Amino acid sequence: MATPIKDWSKLEVRAVVHFLFSKGTRPSEIHKQIRETYETKRDSITWKHPSSPATKKFKVQRSAAKVRVTVFWDAKGVILLDILPQGQCMNAAQYCSTVECLRDAICSKRPGLLRRAVVLLHDNATSHSANLTQQWMQRYGWETIPYPAHNPDLTPSDFHLLGHLKCHLGGMVFETEGDLVGELKNFFVHLDLHFLRVIIYSLLLRWKKYIDLHGDYVEK
């Protein structure tokens, strides 16, 4: 009989270390990325005397262009990676078009899933909560998990996946948008499936804690 895992946070870190080590990342760099991604508020506090000067921060140069990416994934890997063309905004109509592409991707990559149930977890962005989007979900019988405000750890993409993407792209310079898009695809294609499964399963524990506390906020 398998022993239940009580501390999913430790398993998450182990999965991250395994994923980075498999990519040939140096131990010192792995430690740096772990600290940057999992740094708590307590770790980031700076103790200063009231008369101490204000903390100086690096000025970040504005990017020449940005790429908006929408990624849908589950415990088995990435299902759809959608790149929004330059000059377009993610409104309700555009999001419904993206989800329509997701439906086609599910048909080809997850045969049979549409006949059972599709449950989406996304935040409360306007394009997600718009009436047009809700009507699309109802038409196909898809469900969405309620997203509690001020609980980013209940959104695995923001709390885990995109944090590691940020570390992966750190320090890189791309001459063209195509180079950036290519690196994004490379990152998502080579994601460790064990890493994704740990994130999904740990979400169950986080949701249980949230429900047991009747939606109250917890630090850890």
Q: Where are the domains of the chain?
A: 68-144
Query: Between 28 and 46, where is the model more confident?
Result: 28
What average pLDDT does range 92-110 have in this prediction? 94
pTM of the model: 0.66
pLDDT in tens, 151-200: 656 677 766 787 788 888 888 888 888 898 899 999 998 888 888 888 88
pLDDT in tens, 5-45: 444 456 566 667 777 777 777 777 777 766 666 554 444 55
Question: Which residues, including other chains, have CB under 8 Å from residue 7's CB and lie 6 or more apart?
Answer: none
Identify the H or E element spanning 68. strand 68-74
Residue 9 has what pLDDT?
54
Reported for 175-181, long-range contacts at CB under 8 A and 24+ positions apart, including other chains, are: 177/65, 177/67, 177/86, 180/67, 181/67, 181/83
CB 212 within 8 A of CB 205: no
Average pLDDT, the chain: 77
CA distance 141 to 124: 19
| Backbone φ and ψ of 74, nearest 5° | -140, -165
Residue 135 has what pLDDT?
94
Identify the H or E element spanning 73. strand 68-74
